[in-house]
């Protein structure tokens, strides 16, 4: 005689008010008269603005025209994208000779292919990938972009770049298909897996040297037309300046931060002074100093091109900000970590490189990426000192006679480009955080 029903009541579907779209709308949008009014008026505003944007930017817009007058003839109320389309080469590559643009594309593609294996699963030797990119790629890219006479040093570095690129790509392919490293694969193919370690190593070295020689023979036949840096511009220039800035300001910042926390008084005072001076001055001042004042201090005939000056200024400026971010990260590491490292016999660089930095850097990722995004956007300031970076090019469209006064469309396009780049950087940093599980606490 049970009064309690021991049988489980069958599951019922959730009430329609909880699951359906209508239920959600009712709960969140129309729960009271006031909310209903609010929802309706907001919907109307959104409708108006979206409609306005679409009509201006799409339905009434002109995409094909030879000049702005033709855009007007087509529609007085729509955007004139034809000007932006006409200027696309300028926007992306600046004044780079049109026949040589493939060099920029090839250089960019090379970098992507080179770096891509770092993010692929099952690929071995990721440290090597990073190291070769940093050591060799700048020289190869530098030659591809500027061309002209190739010195012996550049020839060697470019050959090294080609050889390591081939190795990296082969390694990635072997890793993806066979799930082994390139070295293992080659040794297996040659049937030398059983040979002593020393023979194996020597064999690999010989192969690498042979590859280098072949690459060198090929590179020595290159004769790319010289392109002056004054012809660099557009998105390409923006990426060159910010790319070098990003790649150099982080290591620079780490060194400065370590210097500022150093126990050696001279190093500490110098680092602190350097950081404080550069941080207390606006970037535009640093840029002006670098480009107009610097040549006055130098002996006559000493010429450092403006682009180099600008890049150095950007690196120094951002290294200081980076240093403070790194210092904040270092301070978050408990003292026990340092002491622990000491007790297992690590010296200064061992402690920093193996114990402290890896932990600290994880915590700094959001700040570092925030700073790098800032750096990318700050590079637009170089248009003020006469370099035609992305923004400089976009602003020039409104001065070109066929497109006179066309200034909104280019800026909107520029905003769109910057958004894509910055948003992907931000997304990537989130991904890194999750991967390194630094984001657990949010």
Partner 1 sequence: MNFCSKFTSVATLAFVATTGATVVAAETTLEIVKERGNVRCQVGPPSPGYYNLDSEGNWYGLDVAVCQAVAAAVFGSKDALEIQSVSSQARFTALANGESDLLSRTATWTMTRDTQLGIDFLSPNFYDGQGFTVRVDSGITSAMELGGAKVCVTTGTTTELNLTDFSRSNDLGISNVTFEDYNVRDDTYLNGGCDAVTGDKSSMAGNIASFPVPGDHMILPETLSKEPLAAAVRHGDSQWRDVVQWSIFALVNAEELGITKANVDDMRSTSKNPNVLRMLGAEGNLHEGLGLDKDWAYNIIKNVGNYGEIYEAYMGGGEQGIGIERAGSLNALWTDGGLMYSPPMR
When asked if residue 331 is in the footprint of partner 1 (CB under 8 A), the reply is no
Q: Candidates 25-33, 51-59, 89-97, 246-254 — which segment interacts with partner 1 by CB under 8 A?
A: 89-97
Binding residue (CB under 8 A) for partner 1 from 386, 424, 431, 435: 386
CB 241 within 8 A of CB 250: no
Least distance from C-beta 52 to partner 1, angstroms? 15
d(C-alpha 442, C-alpha 437), whole Å: 10
Handedness of CA 200, 202, 208, 214 (dihedral sign): negative
Query: Is 250 or 406 the residue whose CB approaches partner 1 more closely?
Result: 406
Handedness of CA 216, 220, 222, 228 (dihedral sign): positive
* Residue 343: both structure tokens together: 């007790």
- Each residue 210-229 as x (binds partner 1 by CB under 8 A) or -, in order, gives ------------------x-
Query: Is 282 or 386 the residue whose CB approaches partner 1 more closely?
Result: 386
When asked if residue 68 is in the footprint of partner 1 (CB under 8 A), the reply is yes
CB atoms within 10 A of CB 258: 21
When asked if residue 384 is in the footprint of partner 1 (CB under 8 A), the reply is yes
When asked if residue 149 is in the footprint of partner 1 (CB under 8 A), the reply is no
Select from 320, 436, 413 the least CA-distant residue to 375.
320
When asked if residue 81 is in the footprint of partner 1 (CB under 8 A), the reply is no
Binding residue (CB under 8 A) for partner 1 from 12, 21, 32, 98: 98
φ, ψ at 389 (rounded to 5°): -75, -170
> Strand, helix or coil at 232?
strand
Q: Candidates 170-178, 244-252, 274-282, 292-300 — which segment interacts with partner 1 by CB under 8 A?
A: 292-300
Select from 357, 282, 279 the least CA-distant residue to 319.
279
d(C-alpha 28, C-alpha 30), whole Å: 6
Contacts of residue 291, defined as CB under 8 A and 6 or more positions apart, other chains included, come to 306, 309, 310, 385
When asked if residue 96 is in the footprint of partner 1 (CB under 8 A), the reply is yes
Least distance from C-beta 339 to partner 1, angstroms? 47
Least distance from C-beta 35 to partner 1, angstroms? 36
CB 65 within 8 A of CB 85: no
Select from 441, 290, 397, 412 the least CA-distant residue to 68.
397
Binding residue (CB under 8 A) for partner 1 from 136, 392, 394, 409: 392
When asked if residue 103 is in the footprint of partner 1 (CB under 8 A), the reply is no
Select from 428, 398, 432 the least CA-distant residue to 412.
398
When asked if residue 57 is in the footprint of partner 1 (CB under 8 A), the reply is no
Of residues 294 through 323, those in contact with partner 1 by CB under 8 A are: 295-296, 299-300
Residue with tokens 């060198």: 216
Residue with tokens 């006179």: 404
φ, ψ at 280 (rounded to 5°): -90, 0
Binding residue (CB under 8 A) for partner 1 from 29, 108, 195, 231: 231
Binding residue (CB under 8 A) for partner 1 from 342, 398, 421, 438: 398
When asked if residue 385 is in the footprint of partner 1 (CB under 8 A), the reply is yes
When asked if residue 395 is in the footprint of partner 1 (CB under 8 A), the reply is yes
Number of residues that bind partner 1 (CB under 8 A): 40
* Residue 176: both structure tokens together: 């993806």
Query: Is 288 or 338 the residue whose CB approaches partner 1 more closely?
Result: 288
Binding site residues, partner 1, CB under 8 A: 68, 72, 76, 86-87, 89-90, 94-96, 98, 228, 230-231, 233, 288, 291-292, 295-296, 299-300, 383-386, 388, 392-393, 395-396, 398-402, 404-407
């Amino acid at each position: 005689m049970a009064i309690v029903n021991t049988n489980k009541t069958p599951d019922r579907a959730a009430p329609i008010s909880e699951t359906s779209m209508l239920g959600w709308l009712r709960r969140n949008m129309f729960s009271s008269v006031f909310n209903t009014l609010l929802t309706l008026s907001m919907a109307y505003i959104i409708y108006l603005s979206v409609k306005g944007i679409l009509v201006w930017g799409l339905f009434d817009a002109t995409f094909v025209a030879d000049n702005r007058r033709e855009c007007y003839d087509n529609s007085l109320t729509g955007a004139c994208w034809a000007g932006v389309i006409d200027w696309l080469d300028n926007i992306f590559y600046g004044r780079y000779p049109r026949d040589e643009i493939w060099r920029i594309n090839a250089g960019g593609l090379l970098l992507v292919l080179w770096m891509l294996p770092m993010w692929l699963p099952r690929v071995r030797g990721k440290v090597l990938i990073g190291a070769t990119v940093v050591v060799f790629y700048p020289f190869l890219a530098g030659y591809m972009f500027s061309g002209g006479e190739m010195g012996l040093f550049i020839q060697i570095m470019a050959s090294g770049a080609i050889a390591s690129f081939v190795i990296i790509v082969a390694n990635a392919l072997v890793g993806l298909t066979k799930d082994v490293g390139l070295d293992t694969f080659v040794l297996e193919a040659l049937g030398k897996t059983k040979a002593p370690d020393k023979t194996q190593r020597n064999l690999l070295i010989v192969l690498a040297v042979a590859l280098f020689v072949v690459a060198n023979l090929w590179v020595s036949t290159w004769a790319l037309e010289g392109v002056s840096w004054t012809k660099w511009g557009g998105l390409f220039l923006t990426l060159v300046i910010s790319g070098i800035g990003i790649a150099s300001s982080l290591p620079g910042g780490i060194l400065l931060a370590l210097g500022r926390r150093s126990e050696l008084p001279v190093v500490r005072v110098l680092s602190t002074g350097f950081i404080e001076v550069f941080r207390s001055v606006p970037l535009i001042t640093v840029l002006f100093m670098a480009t107009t004042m610097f040549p006055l201090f130098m002996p006559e005939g000493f010429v450092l091109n403006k682009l180099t000056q600008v890049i150095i200024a950007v690196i120094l400026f951002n290294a200081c900000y980076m240093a403070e971010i790194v210092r904040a990260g270092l301070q978050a590491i408990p003292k026990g970590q340092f002491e622990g490292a000491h007790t297992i016999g690590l010296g200064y660089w061992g402690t920093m490189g193996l114990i402290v930095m890896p932990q600290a850097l994880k915590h700094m990722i959001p700040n570092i990426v925030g700073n790098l995004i800032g750096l990318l956007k700050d590079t637009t300031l170089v248009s003020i000192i006469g370099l035609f970076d992305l923004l400089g090019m976009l602003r020039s469209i409104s001065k070109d006679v066929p497109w006179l006064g066309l200034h909104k469309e280019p800026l909107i396009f520029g905003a769109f480009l910057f958004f894509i780049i910055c948003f992907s950087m931000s997304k990537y940093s989130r991904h890194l955080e999750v991967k390194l599980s630094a984001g657990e606490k949010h």
